[in-house]
Amino acid sequence: MKVTIVEREATPWVGFHLIGPWDETAPEGFARLSEWVTQHNLTGEWMAIYHSNPNDAAASQRAIDTVISVNADYQPAGEGAPQKGELAGGKYAVARVVVDDGDFAKPWLTLFQQWLPGSSWQVDKRPCFDHYLNDGAQSGVWDIDLYIPVKK
């Protein structure tokens, strides 16, 4: 797994905050987001922001934001509108992966269990996130950049 360290600017987003097992909340959140994006003709980076450590939080208590990046001045409005937030900037370890078997956890485990211990980096307190490079809903093949916030 090839990992690079990047400096990322803070990114404003709109999206939906859900609590529960990620294999249920991520699809639900992206379905709601897709409907909003279609209705409002938005474009941007599609991301899942993870606020829980699966080693510390029961599946029923895990938090996720399913979001799309927007201009800083964008204000969602109306019934069912998503919330607005900002993904923190800073240094991130990034790995590009392909998920073609539906197991989205496997590349994260590889990153945390194989790459991180041998690196000179430590996990920072900002959330980890996925950046979806394509919509694999039809093909079952997802190209994803995984981001871990890091510090020395």
pLDDT tens column, 11-63: 999 999 999 999 999 999 999 999 999 999 999 999 999 999 999 999 999 99
Q: Quote the pLDDT of residue 10.
A: 98
Task: Give the other-Cβ count within 10 Å of 63's Cβ.
Answer: 16
Rounded to 5°, angle at Cα 44 from 61 and 17? 15
The answer, as to whether pTM is greater than 0.95, is: yes
Provide CB contacts within 8 A for 130, sequence distance 6+.
Answer: 47, 48, 104, 144, 145, 146, 147
Q: Quote the pLDDT of residue 24.
A: 96
Bridge partners (DSSP) of residue 84 are 14
The mean predicted confidence, pLDDT, of the chain is: 97
Q: Quote the pLDDT of residue 103.
A: 95
CA–CA gap between residue 76 and residue 89 (Å, rounded): 22
CA–CA gap between residue 90 and residue 41 (Å, rounded): 29
